[in-house]
Amino acid sequence: MMRLVLLGPPGAGKGTQGVLLAERYGIPQISTGEILRDHVQRGTKLGIQARSYMDRGEYVPDDVVVSMVMDRLAEPDAEKGFILDGFPRTVAQAEALERALSASDRPLTAVLKFSIGGEVAVRRLLGRATCTSCGRTYHLEFKPPAQEGICDVCGGRLERRGDDDELTIRRRIAVYREQASPLEMFYVERDVLYQVDAEGTPDEIFERAVTFLEGLA
């Protein structure tokens, strides 16, 4: 049974690892952003509640977000486990999640923290480029296209992400670290936090995560 939470600063490759882990274990990768959009679109009770906060430019309260997450975790595809990405973000959310999971007797298996040095993260994020027509992603340093500025697959034009200037990136990383450290302590205290060295290739990082998870069984 794999019930996982992924933590890690921007640039740690958490999203990529989430996809790989979801494939390996046949469990869904659940992002709160997607759940929220889905509820709002379907006009569910929770969606309408969430919308009223978003319309006022306020954060959706923790209990609404947690209800949505628990609702999603009750779906059949999450029976064998799940991967939460981007949630919880705060200790209050982590506490609410813990209560809800223990009520359904499904405690977390592990919290994987993908850790990476600040400078490595900045270099990774700075080089990212996306194809403007097919959406494929490249990295100017680590995964460059065959021809500069042109997508290998469709010949579309590559563009750097707008929010990827160095100052913005450094600020995002700093904000993340400040938010994440109490959350990490929360999981350290519960003895479920495992630090995965997130420097290296995606395959190397994935191997490290899997080696740890297999060791749990």
> Residue type for 72, please?
R
Confirm whether 56 is a catalytic residue.
Answer: no
Nearest approach in angstroms of CB 152 to Zn ion is: 8
Confirm whether 161 is a catalytic residue.
Answer: yes
Choosing from 3, 14, 72, 124, the catalytic residue is: 14
Confirm whether 89 is a catalytic residue.
Answer: yes
Nearer to Zn ion by Cβ, of 52 and 137: the residue is: 137
Tokens of residue 135, six digits: 């959406």
Per-residue b or e along 176-205, where b marks 16 or more CB atoms closer than 10 Å to that residue's CB:
beeebeebbebbeeeebbbbbebeeeeeeb
Q: CA-to-CA distance for 154 and 157, rounded, in angstroms?
A: 9
Nearer to Zn ion by Cβ, of 158 and 169: the residue is: 158
Q: CA-to-CA distance for 152 and 159, rounded, in angstroms?
A: 13
> Residue type for 58, please?
E
Choosing from 106, 136, 161, 170, the catalytic residue is: 161
Nearest approach in angstroms of CB 156 to Zn ion is: 4
Confirm whether 143 is a catalytic residue.
Answer: no
Choosing from 89, 136, 143, 170, the catalytic residue is: 89
Give the interface with Zn ion as residue ranges (CB under 5 A).
131, 134, 136, 151, 153-154, 156
Nearest approach in angstroms of CB 130 to Zn ion is: 9
Tokens of residue 57, six digits: 């430019």
Nearer to Zn ion by Cβ, of 106 and 161: the residue is: 161
Choosing from 72, 113, 128, 208, the catalytic residue is: 128
Confirm whether 171 is a catalytic residue.
Answer: no
Sign of CA dihedral 152, 158, 161, 165: positive
| Residues classed as catalytic | 14, 89, 128, 161, 172
